[in-house]
A and B are shown apart, each in its own frame.
Chain A
């Protein structure tokens, strides 16, 4: 009896071998394989970081911190300072963020409060989803042929040199591109607001506007902020649409209408032409900066959202 039980609990070597033959791989190695798959993603991320570090090492050693505050970007003389691109990136992204916020917050309230269900909501949600799915090169193309002439007209009216391309134009395109991200997270957090809170306010005689202003928005504030932060992460790293409409100038932008370059667009423009290891390393260092900044922003945004979900 005990002999049989022992056989059931622990298969003999022969049974194991038969099983292995039949199923292809042994159980232990299957588990190891799964573990390996999970581990390889962590390794991938770490490898990306260190590869960027190593590849940009010549620039890191040569310029150190002054890389980020240097004003001249002169490949011919081998002088690389990224300040113009940092400023260009920050200007275009924040301007885009402000424009996007004017529209994404109403969309979040529209979908999270006024039209939570029904055809209107489904229609709106699908359109926003489609907007998120359009490739960035098409946004750039559209911006180049529709927005650039419009901005040129505007600049003529304002009495500025009518170039059409520039930081302002790229902010407009970026704003359209990040509205879906900011508004979908906003919608989610606004619909998370507990209904008993809202009902309490309604029963005291508050109008829907007052409920939204005094109950919903304060409650969802941090989540909306996180959505904006994640949208900022998108805007900072966006390449193609920006490259096509920003005007590609390597000088410090004077105002929001002047042409410029962002960190991503300078890489896109000059990487294939980069001659010399220092030039290449400088461009890769820009990528490293982008990587670190977007990673920090992403982690912060996700942490805020997670905290909010737990506090519920």
Chain B
């Protein structure tokens, strides 16, 4: 009897120990997140002011200077990648949802999964080979192509997942009224799944806004304000990379400020996406 009791006690003890271990290890795995946020807020927030957001960088040695060119560049790169990926992505998503069982749909889905796993630096090389080499110079356009390819899988998947949730009765009702197939898709199915598609687009933007690797040899970076999409353009992550790896402490300060702006933007987008999904859930 005593023997059984000790064995039970030992088992209960092992159970408790294991649970504690799991909780401790899990909680310690989210410590880096707080360390990152803390370090960036501590070092970055004091740099942020109106001048920082509105001026272009100054040469080494001069104090001050800002990141307006990088903000402007990131904005343009996002617009370009949006143009390259969103229309194609949405139609490909519709295709995947409508022709679910087909052979081409299977291949397309496979391609999307592979595309999503391609390292971003490889995408950068592709944009270099496709756009920079033929045109002969680094350009915002090539950066937009690279980011567009990165954004594409996110949008296709979000579109497909959302449209799958739209019930067949909706489509049947529309077709029964004599509405042509194309109009049923564009005016009934697509609006019904709009919130999902929108959150997919936001997630895609959040994904590419922080990308640096594909821009290294496409958008290239530019210390000046540039409004020509055929010329090199700066972006926020590129600025952080260049400043952080420089030997000058004043530039490190700027990098902290830029990191704070970037992380607020990316995490803010993630938050908005969550709210969008929660508020306008596809439900019937």
A23 touches B180 (CB 8 A): yes
Q: Mark A99-125, 1 if CB is under 8 A from B, else 0.
A: 000111011011100100000000010
Interface SS of A by simple majority: helix
Chain B positions 104-120 with a Cβ under 8 Å from a chain A Cβ:
104-105, 107-108, 110-120
A208 to B11, CA, bound (A): 10
A302 to B110, CA, bound (A): 10
B125 touches A130 (CB 8 A): no
- Closest-by-CB residue of B relative to A244 is B245
B91 touches A237 (CB 8 A): no
* Nearest CB of chain A from residue B157's CB, rounded to whole Å: 11
* Nearest CB of chain A from residue B278's CB, rounded to whole Å: 12
B14 touches A237 (CB 8 A): no
> Contacts A131-B33, A237-B119, A290-B119; is A41 near B112 (CB within 8 Å)?
yes
A247 to B270, CA, bound (A): 32
Chain A positions 64-106 with a Cβ under 8 Å from a chain B Cβ:
102-104, 106
Residue B135 at the chain A interface, CB threshold 8 Å: no
Q: Which residue of B12, B19, B30, B104 contacts A124 across the interface (Cβ within 8 Å)?
A: B30
> Contacts A51-B130, A137-B240, A138-B262; is A41 near B25 (CB within 8 Å)?
no
> Contacts A48-B126, A129-B270, A142-B35; is A137 near B29 (CB within 8 Å)?
no
A244 touches B30 (CB 8 A): no
**In the complex, chain A residues whose CB is within 8 Å of the CB of B149:** 44
B19 touches A208 (CB 8 A): yes
Residue B220 at the chain A interface, CB threshold 8 Å: yes
A293 to B253, CA, bound (A): 38
A236 to B88, CA, bound (A): 29
B114 touches A295 (CB 8 A): yes
**In the complex, chain B residues whose CB is within 8 Å of the CB of A197:** none
A208 to B21, CA, bound (A): 14
Partner-binding segment picked from B52-60, B191-199, B211-219: B211-219
A104 to B37, CA, bound (A): 21
How many B residues touch A, CB cutoff 8 Å? 80
> Contacts A131-B32, A287-B121; is A207 near B213 (CB within 8 Å)?
no
**In the complex, chain A residues whose CB is within 8 Å of the CB of B211:** 135-136
Q: Which residue of A179, A264, A302 contacts B29 across the interface (Cβ within 8 Å)?
A: A179
Chain B positions 21-65 with a Cβ under 8 Å from a chain A Cβ:
21-23, 25-26, 28-30, 32-33, 35-36, 39-40
Partner-binding segment picked from B92-100, B166-174, B223-231: B92-100
Residue A21 at the chain B interface, CB threshold 8 Å: no
**In the complex, chain B residues whose CB is within 8 Å of the CB of A139:** 36
Q: Which residue of B26, B114, B237 contacts A137 across the interface (Cβ within 8 Å)?
A: B237
Give the B-binding residues of A (Cβ under 8 A): 19, 23, 25, 27, 30-31, 33-35, 37-42, 44-45, 48, 51-52, 55, 102-104, 106-107, 109-111, 114, 124, 127-131, 133-142, 144-146, 176, 179, 183, 207-210, 212, 230, 233, 236-240, 244, 264, 267-268, 271-272, 283-284, 287, 290-291, 294-295, 297-299, 302
Give the A-binding residues of B (Cβ under 8 A): 11-12, 14-15, 18-19, 21-23, 25-26, 28-30, 32-33, 35-36, 39-40, 88, 91-92, 94-96, 98-99, 104-105, 107-108, 110-122, 125-126, 128-130, 149, 152, 156, 180-183, 185, 206, 209-213, 216-217, 220, 237, 240-241, 244-245, 252, 255, 259, 262-263, 266-267, 270
Q: 6 A-B residue contacts at CB 8 Å?
A: A34-B91, A106-B21, A131-B32, A210-B15, A290-B121, A291-B119
